[in-house]
Amino acid sequence: MTASHSPPLAVDDRGNALISFVLAAEDTPPRDAPLPLALVALWQGDRVLMVFDRYRQAWELPGGRIDPGESPRQAAARELLEESDHVPEGALRFVGFACFALAPDQRAEYGALFTGQAAEASRLFQPNGEIAAVRWWDLREPLPGRLQPMDAYLAELTRGTPSVTRHGTNAG
């Protein structure tokens, strides 16, 4: 990870920071830090899907660890379904790579960010051991409880990208 003197894009109350967002091809992730996770900003109109994580006690984008042998895209789709019981309409679209500095040692890692529109026939959410609730959020209204500011920042990056990637080319 290249040293940067720019302020972080977002910081949470635990000292974790979103330090940059890298626009790159999905198949060429940055190589200066590990890529262990994938996140999804799933949209329904002007609202993004947020999940309330029981362990971190915060509203976050659905996502999680990439399993061995799994691509970031496969992990994103799996985590979205496992955490929220929602599926995208069509394929998820790749947006870019978020670079985090994680507390307490400020170790760097990347997360692959995907976006998509919610399918009309998403199943009803059932709370599980990891996720207590889901909510469609307009990025302005207050959420009950703590909001993960890094995920809010990443959700904002994907707003308005349902058919065009951040590279400016048609997705699909």
The residues, any chain, with a CB within 8 Å of residue 33's CB and separated by 6 or more, are 1, 99, 108, 109, 110
Which pTM was predicted?
A: 0.89
Nearest to 115 by CA among 73, 81, 59: 73
**DSSP-H helix ranges across the chain:** 72-84, 149-158
pLDDT band at residue 172 under the 50/70/90 scheme: very low
Tens-digit pLDDT profile for residues 85-114: 999 999 999 999 999 999 999 999 999 999
